Structure 1
Amino acid sequence: MSDAELPLVTIVALCYNHARFLPQALDSILGQSYPNLEVLLVDDASTDSSVSILQRYAAATPQWRLLLLPENVGNCRAFNYAFRQSAGEFVIDFATDDVLLPQRVAQHVAAFQRADPACGMVYSDAELIDEEGQLVRRHFRRTAQGLQPRPASGWVFADVLARYFISTPTMTMRRATLEQLGGYDETLAYEDFDFWVRASRDWQFYFLDEVTTQKRLHPQSMSKKGYRPHDPYLASTIRVCYKALALCRTDAERAALAVRVQWELRQAVRWRNYSEAQQLYQLLQQLGHLRPLDRLLGLWARIVR
């Protein structure tokens, strides 16, 4: 098969103040073994030197497209803006503080070709690295009981409701899946949980047990802001939980969602997000899965609010 006959893969490289990590991220795109790539560089109104770095790489690689947004619009809108201008059969949402290992795209395309045609997303393992690029650990821990958190493949709707197990930077999405969903929900502060919920209702997910990506851990990363006082993402999480409730078809699925909501309720109370805790308590009431601890937390949130 010639390069042109291979499926086109779009990499949407999203940058916001990633100057320190940007060259390594962009070099990792250049280092991909897979030849049929479409690359869109998107800067979401960075205030550091990211734009000049992006411009330098775009000038050196004319087939790449550079999109400079005039104002900061957030990940969901920035991704959709680029996605609507792309053509790839498969799409990678690549944060430019992370790193793609050389076989990432090739391995994921091969996984799609092995998977069921109803597969809407391939994900894999990742190395978690610090600001200096040193290995911290893998996303999935190898234990006597198997990988932890336990990955899931196939029809995983109940799994994504109940627990976190997907390393977001490792996702490669089928274009048809994103188009069916209308892209990311631009009213949300973050994208992955909503994508998992909506996509897994009608599409299968496929886990590839390979390390394909390095996820950067640093104080400015989105993952560091969650589950803290005034969590900027909690309101979006609650909205997605209500979306999930509307998509549930069975008691088992509603029970799985209750597990997630109970976790979110504990975190909301722990970090004194009491208004959101009350919303989560009300959702548990609708689900009909209130435990004694949930009632106690709901009462505490109402008293101290």
Structure 2
Amino acid sequence: MNSSLVTIIIPCFNHGKYLPDAIDSCLNQTYSEIEIIIVDDGSTDNTCEVTKSYPSVTYLYQKNQGLSSARNTGIKHSNGAFLVFLDADDLLLHDAIAYNIEYLKKETKLAFVSGAHQVSTIDNIKIKTINESVVFDHFQTLLRKNYIGMHATVMFRREAFDEVLYDTTLKACEDYDIYLKIAKKHPIAHHNKVLSVYRRHQENMSNNIPFMLSTVLKVLNRQKHNLSKKDDLLALQEGKQNFTKYYHKLLFDQYKNCTNPFEYILFLFDTNFIKIIYKRFKVKLMGRFKNYKFLKNIIPLKGKRILFNLGFHKGFLPPIKKVKSGDFDRLSPFSKNFGYDRGGPIDRYYIEKFLEEASDMIYGRILEIGDNDYTLRFGKEKVKTSEILHINESNPKATIIGDLSDAPQIEDNSFDCILLTQTLHLVYDYQAVIKTCHRILKPGGALLLTVPGITPIDYGEWGYTWYWSFTGQAMKKMMAEYFSKSHSKINTYGNVYAATAFLYGMGLPEIKKEMLDFHDPRMQVIVTVKAIKEK
């Protein structure tokens, strides 16, 4: 295998008329170390003749077995350490290979990198540019949507296919399937450089909307048994909803744009279209009866409470002066120590959930404040050097003494990751802390930050320097001063029940997990930040 060679694999089935443009776009690359393989999947047109007019191009023929099989054949015969797949009717821009291979050579752990693409007519009239920005959580984002969109923007390492190949049972969405399988096990990346052109015409497979929808849902459903994290499962569910809405809209748009009366008749006999109409009608119909107004008038208040507690009548609100406050009917909290004396603080559940989800960013040389418990717990074997910062010499574990709001003794570009949990609110000049963190992070390094939103103030010594609480919007504004918006992700955690329980000092074991996991963006107990320093 040639470590600098890029193999471009072009499957072709009766697309000989488009093939010269695709091959020329490969030959015109600024990066010269390429091999081009055409896999003729049983074509009956001039695919063979077209290919053989290019002496430097390798031609492989197989009986018609489908796109996945053709790609696998190309992989089997490839000599490059890097692979790119281009459809016979699409194009690569001249610097596509050079840009992606440079990216993969710098980021040696990545299994593949993807970029942006243009959509044009077959006559190369530009329609639009598809340019998604994804910095974090690539696998979860892929579950929610196929942000890559066009596989010609992807460059794979050859070894990614040592453990998985294209699924020959899939007649569409085989590229989306392979992205998910690889991204589940390996790090991947995405950038905004436009690399290729998707040329739209009537022969595109993606024009068959019901077929595309059923196939993409099949691909997503296959992932379910591999998912254990709740956020992954939620992302999967969101993805199924997103794809369903997207393809339903496309089908309705087709119906609305019909100009031929005969086409209207075809839609009325299309079972897929009828099913969509039924589902939409059913949702609206059920919504009419959702509140069961006639029951509200005959069930007594006690019965409504019982239905609410059983999970029915979710919209129940007790009348004015009929609220039961129970154990919350008091003027002092159950705990004055954030719930540590009742099994642990509620906010720590959100903080540790955030760090667990971001654990792939905790590696190399890591800075944490006060101790390195989270560094070791979530970084594990990825930790090379663990540094502990403390404000003074009273902490024997500290390896660096200083104040993050003014730390000239710490060199620029020093850390791969900074863990700054529940600290910013104790510093009056919090903007200076963010500025320092940005300065001392290495390019590509991650700041993982948590701050309190709805919170009690410490009854002990920290209460004297407890200056702030924050909101998600405040953190967005603050982070934008130093970190690119596309490289920062702000999340909030909490709901009215979690906030109330936290204020009263209830312990984590006293709260059901499902009561903590419900998210109400107007009840922000904890705000989290993932910010990457641009390279």
Q: Above 0.5 in TM-score?
A: yes
Task: Say whether 1:215 aligns with 2:194.
Answer: no
Shift of 1:219: 1.0
Equivalent position of 1:301 in the other structure: none
Shift of 1:109: 0.3
Equivalent position of 1:248 in the other structure: 227
Paired residue type of 1:102: H
Equivalent position of 2:307 in the other structure: none
CA distance in 2, matches of 1:68, 1:5: 24
Equivalent position of 1:77 in the other structure: 69
Q: Deviations over 1:108-156 (max 9, x none)?
A: 10011222x331111111121101111111112xxxxxxxxx4324541
Task: Say whether 1:237 aligns with 2:219.
Answer: no
CA distance in 1, matches of 2:154, 2:230: 29
Equivalent position of 2:368 in the other structure: none
Paired residue type of 1:133: N
Structure 2 contact 82–155 (Cα < 8 Å) conserved: yes
CA distance in 2, matches of 1:267, 1:273: 14
Shift of 1:208: 2.5
SS in structure 2 at match of 1:273: helix
SS in structure 1 at match of 2:171: coil
Indicate how the Cα distance of structure 1 residues 295 and 126 shifts in structure 2: closer, same or farther if over 3 A, else same.
farther
Task: Say whether 1:195 aligns with 2:178.
Answer: yes
Equivalent position of 1:136 in the other structure: 127
Shift of 1:54: 1.2
Q: Deviations over 1:191-237 (max 9, x none)?
A: 11101211111122222221111111111112222x2xxx3344432
Equivalent position of 2:43 in the other structure: 46
Task: Say whether 1:204 aligns with 2:187.
Answer: yes
Equivalent position of 2:103 in the other structure: 111
CA distance in 1, matches of 2:134, 2:222: 21
Equivalent position of 1:65 in the other structure: 58
Shift of 1:263: 3.2
Structure 1 contact 41–67 (Cα < 8 Å) conserved: yes
Structure 2 contact 2–79 (Cα < 8 Å) conserved: no
Shift of 1:167: 2.9
Task: Say whether 1:19 aligns with 2:38.
Answer: no
Equivalent position of 1:156 in the other structure: 138
Indicate how the Cα distance of structure 1 residues 52 and 122 shifts in structure 2: closer, same or farther if over 3 A, else same.
same
Task: Say whether 1:97 aligns with 2:89.
Answer: yes
Match of 1:34 among 28, 31, 34: 31
Paired residue type of 2:145: R
Question: Of the two, which has the highest radius of gyration?
Answer: 2
Matched length: 261
Paired residue type of 2:138: V
SS in structure 1 at match of 2:211: coil
Paired residue type of 1:139: I
SS in structure 1 at match of 2:224: helix
SS in structure 1 at match of 2:30: coil
SS in structure 2 at match of 1:27: helix
Structure 1 contact 128–217 (Cα < 8 Å) conserved: yes
CA distance in 2, matches of 1:78, 1:237: 20
Alignment TM-score, normalising by the size of structure 2: 0.45
Equivalent position of 1:300 in the other structure: none
Indicate how the Cα distance of structure 1 residues 79 and 249 shifts in structure 2: closer, same or farther if over 3 A, else same.
same
Paired residue type of 2:5: L
Task: Say whether 1:171 aligns with 2:150.
Answer: no
Percent of pairs with identical residues: 23
Runs (5+) with no aligned partner, structure 1: 141-149, 282-291, 298-305
Equivalent position of 1:127 in the other structure: 118
Indicate how the Cα distance of structure 1 residues 24 and 296 shifts in structure 2: closer, same or farther if over 3 A, else same.
farther
Task: Say whether 1:273 aligns with 2:256.
Answer: no
SS in structure 2 at match of 1:111: helix
Structure 1 contact 127–136 (Cα < 8 Å) conserved: yes
SS in structure 1 at match of 2:115: strand
Indicate how the Cα distance of structure 1 residues 5 and 256 shifts in structure 2: closer, same or farther if over 3 A, else same.
closer
Paired residue type of 1:249: S
Paired residue type of 1:253: D
Larger RCO (CA within 8 A; separation ≥ 6):
1
Paired residue type of 1:127: Q
Shift of 1:47: 2.7
Structure 1 contact 155–204 (Cα < 8 Å) conserved: no
Indicate how the Cα distance of structure 1 residues 5 and 189 shifts in structure 2: closer, same or farther if over 3 A, else same.
closer
Runs (5+) with no aligned partner, structure 2: 252-270, 288-535
Alignment TM-score, normalising by the size of structure 1: 0.77
SS in structure 2 at match of 1:232: helix
SS in structure 2 at match of 1:166: coil
CA distance in 1, matches of 2:188, 2:76: 23
Q: Deviations over 1:47-67 (max 9, x none)?
A: 32222111222xx32xx3211
CA distance in 2, matches of 1:244, 1:8: 33
Paired residue type of 1:43: D
Shift of 1:40: 1.1
Paired residue type of 1:217: R
- What value does the CA root-mean-square deviation take over the aligned residues? 2.7
